[in-house]
């Protein structure tokens, strides 16, 4: 996948994950970063479970990325948001 496809997938996954976890976005840059990290984490988790990871810009890859983004956001909020 090209870097532009990773950014688009990360933005969409990060936005959806942010809406699922805390009902508001984290900001466009943090949504992209957490979405891309979530895509990598989701791909790893799915591959460990025997399913395919992120394979391109399609609905399955978006699902994998959103699951990963939700996992990353839960950990992110557990580490950084409760201290405030």
In the prediction, which pLDDT does 84 show? 47
Q: Give the mean model confidence (pLDDT) for residues 31-60.
A: 80
Residue 1 pLDDT exceeds 70: no
Helix ranges (H only) for 1-84 are: 3-22, 28-48, 59-76
In the prediction, which pLDDT does 74 show? 86
pLDDT in tens, 6-33: 778 878 888 888 888 877 666 777 777 7
Question: Domain ranges in the chain?
Answer: 3-81
Give just the sign of the alpha carbon dihedral 78, 79, 81, 84. Answer: positive
Q: Give the mean model confidence (pLDDT) for residues 35-43.
A: 80
């Amino acid at each position: 996948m090209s870097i532009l496809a990773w950014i688009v997938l990360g933005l969409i996954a990060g936005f959806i994950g942010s809406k699922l976890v805390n009902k508001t976005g984290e900001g466009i840059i943090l949504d992209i970063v957490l979405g891309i990290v979530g895509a990598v984490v989701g791909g790893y988790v799915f591959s460990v479970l025997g399913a395919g990871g992120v394979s391109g810009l399609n609905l399955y890859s978006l699902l994998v990325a959103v699951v990963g983004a939700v996992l990353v956001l839960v950990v992110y909020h557990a580490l950084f948001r409760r201290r405030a």
